[in-house]
Each structure stands twice: as structure tokens, then as C-alpha cells.
Amino acid sequence: MLEFLPKEVRDGLEAARKRALKRKSRLRVQVGEAIFPVLRFWDEGFALDASLTPHLRGLVDVYDGARHIFQCLIIASTEENGELICDFKRSTMVTDKAPLDFWRDENAPVAYLPKA
């Protein structure tokens, strides 16, 4: 149905759709000092605005607002319909504490009481 509309109207609708996606999503990708808003995010990748973003490869950080949530290794980025589609090889969840290097028993006592 959109193919019957004039090109200017289609371009305006596409720009409005991108603005709505940017406003709705709090996710952003940071590469060094550069920050790019994420339009869509799924299990194997995410989509960025192609007009604002260069082709990405390598390690990037994904933030939700100010909270660092993922560190992703991008292996491919292609442009489709004005979006830069980035596929990643791995996505590592960022935690606020170091991982344990030992097994912790779930029934272990939380604290020891001193002798009276």
C-alpha cells in the first residue's frame, strides 16, 4: 500500500518510524567514545540507524540507560532498509561482582556464631 504514496511521504513515514523506535528504546551501543542508539535487539544481534552508524566490527558495549548490560563481539554488519544489522558471535552479560572460582554449597551456613 505504501508504494502508491509519493516518495516524500514514504520518506517522512520512515523517518517517523525511526524516531519512534529511538524514543522507545533505552538501549545504546558504545564503541570507544562514540554512542549509537539501538533500534531493535534480539538473541543474535541488534539493529542501528544506518545513517548515523559506521559499519561496526569487534568488541562493543551495550547499555540500558546508564547500566552496562552486555559486552558483544560483532562479526558482521550489513545494511538493510536504512538499518545497520549487526550480528554478534558472543554476548557476555556484565555482572557487578567477580565470578566465584570455587563451588559454594547451597546449604552452607551464612555465618558462624562465636563461642559463648
Tracing cell 523506535 back to the chain, one arrives at 21
Least confident among 11-20, 31-40, 62-71, 81-90: 11-20
pTM: 0.65
Question: H helices within 1-116, ranges in order?
Answer: 7-24
- For residue 97 the three cell numbers come to 561482582
Distance CA 49, CA 64 (A): 17
Sorted by where each begins, the domain ranges of the chain are 26-93
- What's the pLDDT at 109? 80
Q: How many other CB atoms sit within 10 Å of the CB of residue 85?
A: 17
Distance CA 58, CA 72 (A): 8
Greatest CA separation for the chain: 86
- What's the pLDDT at 22? 59
- What's the pLDDT at 24? 64
Chain-centre distance for alpha carbon 3: 32
pLDDT band at 4 (very low <50, low <70, confident <90, very high): confident
- What's the pLDDT at 26? 82
pLDDT band at 51 (very low <50, low <70, confident <90, very high): confident
Q: Output DSSP code: residue 24.
A: H
